[in-house]
Structure 1
Amino acid sequence: MSIEFLITSIAVILLPGIGVLYTIAVGLGRGFRASIVAAAGCTVGILPAALASIIGLAAIFHTSALAFQVVKYLGVLYMLYMAWNILRDGGALDVKKGDINKEPVSMMRTAVKGTLMNVLNPKLSLFFLAFLPQFVEVGHPDATATMFLLAGVFMLLTFIVFSGYGLCASLAHEYVIKRPGVLKWLKRSFAATFGFLSVRLALSDR
């Protein structure tokens, strides 16, 4: 495993995407513990795409337009649902004084939502299909095992970076609850971003 792989992976993970947005939203609304669970869910959601790319199933999305379109629109619908869930009362960004110290309603639901975001992203498998082979030497006797290792390291880095985002968001909790205007702006911004991502995914061909 090269230093280039680590640097490239961290750079990719740091880029704001739906997983980052979700983890930050959970951190702001429900605290650090819940954001850790959200980060774990997003990380687990990477596994199907990583496995698919390693065993070659991601190639289906290149050859089957129907398979790509089905998964794509499921992802679009889910991101629109997340936008609505952020805006509604009692949703992901419904921050109230004292909430950060309360036991979350359902840690499992938090994790599942994070997992579904990445599972329903067909481009993730295509990303791994293009990304992992770049760091495996041609003719490597243990190429498959090496790609599994690289995918595992990528997932670990994802969890660490997302947890960092969640920590920063949870530390801003008290600041947010004292400023309703800031919370309203955050809700609209997060919802608009999820809406934008859903539109971009819907308009994408591959």
Structure 2
Amino acid sequence: MEELVARIKQDGTVLGDDILKVDSFLTHQVDPKLMRQIGRVFAAKFADAGITKVVTIEASGNVPAAYVAEALDVPMIFAKKAKNVTMTDELLTADVYSFTKKITSTVQISRKFLLETDKVLVIDDFLANGQAALGLIKILHEAGAQVAGIGIVIEKSFQTGRGLVEETGIPVFSLARIAGFDAGEVVFAEADL
């Protein structure tokens, strides 16, 4: 997606050998016009797939996932990282390691929101080591739902995540793929969409 790549080039900051900071438009401050475009691109790809739900993990995946859900006219569910007192229903859970935060969180979705008849599109902001996507796949399979695909805004292709997710047989579609970093600059690989 050309607009996303241009924005990464303009506003992204490389930190060390493996971190891309995009907090000015995706992971902290959000550019709603760009997110709406992202939503439309994913929705166009999955327009004929019979998607009934869009699922993500809070928090940075929420905005792009909501725009995808809006464009597909289906509900969006986000896996919560902390249980609160209102979560009294049966919960589906998975432990997910965060590459950027260096912590493991137990993410959860109330079983009542996922049906065996659901066909789900997973959307997330980043794919690095694949743990978020794998955790959501575990939850969705436990619910008996079908996972139609994994939509990623920015993929760090030089890390193991894509391969791990593809081993499940679920296709991955990324809008921007990063081959690596060279002297503080982002080196892009060919994107899926």
Assess same fold via TM > 0.5: no
Higher RCO structure, 1 or 2 (CA under 8 Å, sep 6+): 1
Q: Which has the larger radius of gyration?
A: 1
Higher helix share: 1
Higher strand share: 2
What is the TM-score normalised by the length of structure 1?
A: 0.27
